[in-house]
A and B are shown apart, each in its own frame.
Chain A
Amino acid sequence: MLKIEHLKKRYKTGPWVLKDISFEVPDGEIVGLIGPSGAGKSSLIRCVNRLIDPTDGNIQLDDVNLSSLSAGKIREQRRHIGMIFQEYALVERLSVMENVLSGRLGYLPFWRSFLRRYPEQDIDNAFEYLERVGLIDHANKRADELSGGQRQRVGIARALAQDPRLLLVDEPTASLDPKTSRQIMRLIQSICREKSLSAIINIHDVPLAMQFVDRIIGLQGGEIVFDGKPEALTEDVLTRIYGDEDWTSVKPDEDDLENGEAA
């Protein structure tokens, strides 16, 4: 279980980007984090794995307090937190397999990773994850030979290779077409279900979020303004999160859900 208490963040002397954020994510729950650009979504998930340091507050994963760990100790904890990025963030000149295996770096001493001497078990697992995301035939290709959707699948396999307890997902579909977006969201959702992983997904696409997550948290100006089931996301709530707009066309109607194709 992930527990965030009174999390605050400001960059140097800038304004507060996160003001007193508190929520809990039970094991196996998928949380969609929505909100306008600049609401602090990215900062929030980067505070969890300490890619940035929170200014104040507590972040607790199971029984470890992540926010107070030293730089050396946080590395151990990062192994348990998989992260998936908007622009895939693969190392493009490495092979697909190397990218997936790089999820194991936190478990290996430098010389083994330098010589690419991975334990047999890690390699077997990596093949399994590639199979799971449907890229088993591409293991030896260079990452920059793949399409956007395929690259994101490699990103997912890399996160899986970490054997994580929590997934942090930053705009997984922002660079993808609508169909691929759905496939990727569906993949993330089903993987979370299989391994009863919890996940926090930053996402701009509200209908997509409502379709694939268990719970939605709306962030606005660094504060939580909505926390509840996707069905409770009414036009009023959307206005509270994003400001005035005609929301009628944004809500997913039945057609969308059945065809699996959004405009």
Chain B
Amino acid sequence: MGELEQKLVWHGRTKRKAWMVWGGWFAITLLTIYCWMEMTEDTIWFFVLDAPVQAADLIDRMFPPEWSYIHLLYKALWDTLNIATLGTLLGVILAFPVAFLAARNTTPSVVFVRPIALLIIASSRSINSLIWALLLVTILGPGILAGVIAIGLRSIGFVAKLLYESIEEVNGTSVEAIESTGASRFQTINYAIIPQILPAFLGITIFRWDINIRESTILGLVGAGGIGLFLSSSLNVLAWPQVTLIILVILATVVVSEFLSAKVRELLI
């Protein structure tokens, strides 16, 4: 065995890379300082200094919650749950075919149909459900129906996107095997693809339902029904103890729905 002529030294980064990393951090620091200055340009510092006093005052007025108000909220809460559930159902029904049109391995045409399906997904996802509700209240008038459709339209993109990704990940040889028996396109989807995506599909649906419960609590702000309607009217008359109660009710609902959704998805996986 010959001795090594010189000890080999290993550097995690080359000199050039080290300088680039240092320069990068320096640039981020400068950017942070600049942004902070821009942000605080219009701040009236007197109000900021006053904030703790104001906050204490508001909290003082908000407590205790007006518990007697709760009997009016049951119906609104029920509406909210219905908006979320029916909206999810509508969204899922519409998303199902869209997902198959968007997935590379099931779309009838990668050139024509797939881009349209992707556009549907993108437009549904890019518009917040509050905006959908605002538009629909204008068209349909205020009420639960506008809320249901707003939630439904908003859900299409989310459900279709996650679903088409799981369609693209199915085991290809099972699909090949079903095709090789002489099965038609729809039979192949029915026998080879749907059984494979079913757990993901149910998981996505429950997950979206849980998100929709949260989203539907605020739809009332623009007149689309549910508990948000009460929140908005209480805010308008500065009835702070009622606002507190409503927020607590929303919090409880969301916690319960998240718990349910987590449990169900645990069972599926």
Contacts and interface: CB of A to CB of B under 8 A. Distances in A.
Given A89-B174, A91-B192, A113 B187 contact: yes
Interface stretch (A23-31, A98-106, A205-213, A233-241): A98-106
A51 B182 contact: no
Contacts of A98: 191
Nearest to A170: B173
Given A91-B191, A114-B190, A51 B184 contact: no
B262 interface: no
Contact of B187 (A76, A81, A87, A110): A110
A162 B181 contact: yes
A120 to B, nearest CB: 20
Interface of B is mostly: helix
B198 A105 contact: no
Nearest to A52: B176
A85 B195 contact: no
Given A89-B173, A93-B196, A78 B178 contact: no
A105 B195 contact: no
A198 to B, nearest CB: 17
Contact of A85 (B177, B184, B187, B198): B177
A75 B184 contact: yes
B173 A102 contact: no
A217 interface: no
B168 interface: no
Interface residues of B, number: 20
B180 A91 contact: no
A89 B187 CA distance: 16
B20 interface: no
Contacts of B173: 85-87, 89
Interface residues of A, number: 33
By Cβ-Cβ distance, the 9 closest A-B pairs, closest first, are A106-B182, A105-B183, A89-B177, A79-B182, A78-B182, A89-B173, A93-B195, A83-B180, A105-B187
Given A93-B195, A155-B177, 19 more contacts: A51-B176, A51-B180, A75-B182, A75-B183, A77-B182, A79-B182, A89-B171, A89-B177, A91-B191, A94-B195, A102-B178, A102-B183, A102-B191, A105-B181, A106-B182, A110-B184, A113-B183, A114-B187, A158-B181
Interface of B: 171, 173-174, 176-184, 186-187, 190-192, 195-196, 198
12 contacts: A83-B180, A90-B174, A91-B178, A93-B198, A102-B178, A105-B178, A106-B182, A106-B183, A107-B182, A113-B183, A113-B190, A114-B190
